[in-house]
Chains A and B, each alone.
Chain A
């Protein structure tokens, strides 16, 4: 039976603003399937975003949503989680919003291990603002602000999250649509800060400048570079050259922030 996405979409909001072939819609569908399988309640689910193409996502969702300042999704979401620790807080955003403008908020949310899920749609570019290069733009690739190629090395967002202290880190791609909901569902269930990086395509501002003839070519590239973690174990370093690992990359159980903060309140009240 066809999946009923409509029950999680605000009536009258479709069609969305994303360009033809943009993977954000695929990720949104994955998110809807994930929250539907986990049977989350609309009143108890908050989706928070900053600014950008990917950050338009909460506008279409029929649950508690916050569309905040550029890069500040993690800060606002922390506020929501601290005020209502029982809420399922999900952050969505792009690579520019999450790792450049909001890079500081991102790493410190990871460090705190606050129980939230951050879905980063990595399309290697600032799409909405006109195709400027982001920290995720690969070296040598073109953007509107680097017409002769980007000299900067790029962030590996998953490694950044692991290094900063996130306790669940996974990666998927927009091509592997079937996997997205499973990764997101596992991330939401994880107690602690979980990061799901979804490699995405931006045909309009990234693809055109980097000689991708079509959306299909971009999708095929995602298909080619992705290697599941288990398959990668049997591969040599040479074979893994230029590939990106997908699946659950890191998982660890650690005390999470709201729990620890409740203990601080207890201690402070007992000391009175």
Chain B
């Protein structure tokens, strides 16, 4: 069965570039793309929601449906 990937939405207007999501992602899905966070490797996402929980700026949404 094909793995269903989540959608990681990053609101660039809110992101302040603190690195928290990038550093604490257990599977290194995210990376800094210039000043803001961006998705590097979506296939590795295990939907643990740690980035969404820890983002202090309400900038990340992990949509899993």
Contacts and interface: CB of A to CB of B under 8 A. Distances in A.
Interface string A17-36: 01111111110010000000
A25 B55 contact: yes
Interface string B26-46: 000000000000000000000
Interface residues of B, number: 23
A215 B20 contact: yes
Given A25-B57, A25-B58, A15 B13 contact: yes
A269 to B, nearest CB: 49
B63 A1 contact: yes
A71 to B, nearest CB: 25
B53 A20 contact: no
Main SS class of interface, A: loop
Given A1-B65, A2-B62, A216-B19, A14 B56 contact: no
Nearest to B59: A15
A9 interface: yes
Contact of B52 (A2, A16, A23): A2
Interface of A: 1-3, 5, 9, 14-16, 18-26, 29, 175, 177-178, 214-216, 219
